[in-house]
Amino acid sequence: MAEYIAPTREMKFVLKHVIDMAEISELERFQDASEDIVEAILEEAGKFCGEILSPLNVVGDREGAELTKEGVIASPGFKEAYASYAENGWTSISGDIEYGGQGLPVTLASAVYEFVDASNMAFSLCSMLTTGAIESILAHGSEEQKNTYLEKMISGQWAASMNLTESGAGTDVGALRTKAVPYGDGTYRISGQKIFITWGDHDMTENIIHLVLARTPNSPAGTRGISLFIVPKFLINKDGSLGAQNDAKCVSLEHKLGIHASPTCVMAFGEEDNCVGYILGAENKGMAAMFTMMNNARLNVGIQGVGCSERAWQMAVDYAKDRLQGVAVGATKPGPGAIIEHADVRRMLMTIKSTTEAARAITMLNAKALDLGEHHPDRLLREKYTGLADLLTPMSKAYGSDIGVENASIALQIHGGMGFVEETGIAQIYRDARINPIYEGTNGVQAMDLVGRKLSMMGGNHWRAFLTEITDFAQNLPLEEEFSAMRKNLKLAAASTRESAEWIVAQHVDNMRSALAGSVPFLRLFSVTVGCYLMAKAAAAARAELDNGNPDTDFLEAKIISSRFYAQQIVPTAVGLKEVIMTGDDLFFAIPSEKM
């Protein structure tokens, strides 16, 4: 199995020509993110991921994390790789300068994160969770908390975990039972158990900062009564040194389908009635702090899906070029040829390639919207990009993670019987990718969020303006034949999305269940429409580069072909979802539950 090769040329093209990252680097805060700096960081990240992280991917799958009496021990080589990862500054790319970070855009950090994920998804999850915790402390923490935790978390010296899920509660966070009792000295005593805690314990860093959702005494029922607490693995002395181990530990590891090197822990807090926690933000306002973590994680999980899809593409195309089998229809050479010459194999390869590129562009535009929504000096533009980020986050998470699974499955199919055995490695990508549609709010939850909340925000101004932007772009595409189907299908997709959205919004008044019944296909339709828009941008930019004499003809011509394939082969299937979306919920509930 060949090692991962980071698609640095592809990522540079997306950042420069598709999402126009120059709009970010023009801001005073991000002037250091010049084009040459971005390119240098991407190149170095690609090398690190290919040389250090990728070889550990199969090692971690075969020799997963282990729970011992002393705690969880990381897979062989992971601790050393993490030390090098932190030492080389990969944990601090977008970290706040005030706390030792590099202060570069989230967009650039997101691009690097795709490389990390594609090379070793299990490894990438540790830093992803730490990034989410950093954002939550930065947004909701006191000055003392920021000064205590952020510098060492940003540097990679300390890691973090998110402790939300409980047995019997699951997605219904409001049903959690973990308790937090005030102790009288500004601390709380935490007691309860959390399940499915990714990287809840390990030996890669000297401390782990757990963020734990819990209830204080007499708190309101449901989500209104939830607070968020900082619970360090090791308590921290006033001088910043580490003290005694807290009463928080991993009591078991889950045996999982994939990501074996990522320890998924059952965490017990307060078994000895001495788990010390510190409230983060206001009491009973834990959901707001949690969503700061969750929104960051949702984008990153979508990027994980793109990374899995990219890795699947590389493995599938390599195998298809090497595997000799049969004589393809239309072959010009006698005797068996490589399976890449067969039409259906080409269909599968082009599906993986084009959807990976579309999903990548969506996640990078999402990251750009976050950067500009937070930092642009113009209030109206901040509102515009914040609204765009609100729309794109469920698309990034759901479309990116779904594509990761779908394309890993297609890549396994291309491998044939060899894909079903472990030695080729593609089975690991499929198994690892499968968690992403479940993580951080299932993709059904993402669809409910888009349909039930995001479409009605600001009276629907954001999505209507975005669809108008897409339609206008389609209308102004070049008139040459190579753009004709793209122009037609992009306009059709935008119109179908608009009609579906208007129908859904109308259901909010009388039949929200009917709106939710079509939420998942609507999320796919909207995502594919945005994907086609960004692929069309890529094709137009590639054509302009070719016309201006750019010598990288193979790459640029392939970019146009991939965009045309997406418009002609992927978009029509999504447009057909309009009828599905607008059918309503009648047949969903026509059979009584007890008779199912």
Question: Measured between alpha carbons, how far apart are the two ends of the chain, in Å?
Answer: 45
Give the residues across from 66 on adjacent strands. 73
Q: What are the residues facing 230 on neighbouring strands?
A: 211, 278
Query: d(Cα 315, Cα 140) in Å, to the nearest integer?
Result: 43
- The three-point CA angle 163-164-166 to 5° equals 105
Residue type, 264: T
* Rounded Cα distance, 277 and 34, in Å: 42
Assess contact for 520 and 447: CB atoms under 8 A.
yes
Q: Which residue shows structure tokens 């299937």?
A: 573
Cα pseudo-dihedral 327, 333, 337, 340, rounded to 10: -100
Which residues are known catalytic residues? 440
Residue with tokens 């005073």: 28
State the Cα–Cα distance between residues 326 and 329, nearest whole angstrom. 9
Q: Specify whether the backbone of 368 is left (phi greater than 0), alpha (psi in -120 to 50) or beta.
A: alpha
Query: At CA 65, angle to CA 62 and CA 67, rounded to 5?
Result: 135
User: 104: alpha, beta or left, given left = phi > 0 and alpha = psi -120 to 50?
Assistant: beta
CA nearest to 87, candidates 27, 155, 153: 155
Q: Which residues, in sequence order, are CB contacts of 209 under 8 Å at separation 6+?
A: 133, 149, 153, 158, 159, 160, 161, 230, 231, 232, 233
